[in-house]
Amino acid sequence: MLAVAVSGGPDSLALALLAEPWARARGGRAIGLVVDHGVRAAAALEARLAAAWLAARSIEARIITLARAGTDAQALRRARLAALAEAAAEVGALHLLLAHHALDQAETVLIRLGRGSGEGGLAGMPVVRPLGPVRLLRPLLGAPPVALKAFLRGLGQPWIEDPSNTGRTTRAVLRAALRDGDGQGVGVQAAAQVAAAASRRRAAAEAVLARALAQAVTLSPLGFAQLDAASFAAWDETMRQAALAALLRCIGGHQHPVRQDRLAPLLHRMARGGGGTAAGCLVARRGTTWLVAREPAAVAAEVEMAGASPVPWDGRWRVTAVPGSTVGPLGAAEAALLRRTHTPARDVPAAVLATLPAIRHGGVLVAVPPILYHSGRWLPVPQARFRPPVALVELWAGGGELGAIGSLVTRPMLRWPAVRADTDRG
């Protein structure tokens, strides 16, 4: 079973139409997951249209209606990916396919270069990475967008043009500046070469980092980590920087790497025995360890639970509670009260306890699922699981053919049919 994220645009439609015969030839099948994000008035209609196109080609499709996540682009992206990952897991798919292509990769490299993401950022998007219960696969990173449209034209398959591609978003501006909508120009090719070389270097560095963190870090299901101070001090500067970046990204619930300019001041303070805050995280010395926790001032605000399905909160938690209740941070006052009355709360660091997801109904505290607190007033019992969008350590695919997913499998998984850009454009 392969799950394919389908928006109705040319890239994702092409991916779905390529994935289905590949899976069917191996005794499996593909399913299209279509998100109705609700941001634009036409979103619901576009979702139904995309699902109908898939159904007409004997591909099962499911429409996911996204819970209200505001209009912030990053928040919407996190909510969309979380919903897709959850839906893929529900249908029994381990792999969720995304249709990012060569031009997307070039834009990612340029955006991260501008953000100062460092060597890791220059590697661009990986072919594979874990996301909660699934693995994200991007088998089209080497394909130019013109080839995908030509493939659809050859099938007589229409598609939806996303208006954001011609708006004033960062990607739209970059795409206009590159003047390479086909994704076959010199600039895109150069960015792809940079990404490939940086990806190989990143794969080697991630393997070294994974071994070091496995020995020095304890990651708690309560959403914080403890880092052995002696090990951290013994590492060279490059390793300390990489380890801290990985911890802040995971504990802070960030999709993208933490910028280098945010790490330097904190690393300087840690070298002198002091802590501080960075990237929405609090770092403090606790005896022989460094505590890395969510910064209380940066935690997400309270939001209403719109349904029984798991809802992402604070970019790090998947919460289930009865509709009409809310989820938000426990807060210092109620955390202090629970520390006196609820035994499991007593061993949790105060800074962590205050940021845990608390379920309230009518303003009254009902449950704090991570520490098994429940007042008994509402059933079913609310649940909350720590599910950051990016794992503490990722093993990146380090090059090779697009279908291979590096060290996570022992052989290539996907071999796509040839997609040529020089076919009749209709």
Mean pLDDT, 10 residues at a time, the chain of 426 residues: 95 96 94 87 90 96 80 77 91 95 85 68 81 88 90 96 64 64 70 79 84 94 96 95 94 85 92 93 96 96 80 90 91 95 94 96 93 85 89 56 30 32 32
The CA dihedral of 395, 399, 402, 404, to the nearest 10 degrees, is -50
Residues 377 and 366 sit within 8 Å (Cβ to Cβ): yes
Residue 17 has a pLDDT of 96
Q: What are the residues facing 364 on neighbouring strands?
A: 361
Residue 398 has a pLDDT of 42
* 337: CB partners within 8 A, 6+ apart: none
- The CA distance from 249 to 247, in Å, is 5
Residues 311 and 67 sit within 8 Å (Cβ to Cβ): yes
Quote the Cα angle for 178-96-50, to 5°.
70
Show the beta-strand stretches assigned E in 82-121: 95-97
Nearest to 170 by CA among 268, 288, 77: 77
Residue 418 has a pLDDT of 34
**CATH no., domain 2-191+394-408:** 3.40.50.620
Residue 89 has a pLDDT of 92
Residue 266 has a pLDDT of 95
**DSSP designation for 49:** H
Question: Interhelix angle for 237-252 vs 260-271, to 10°?
Answer: 110
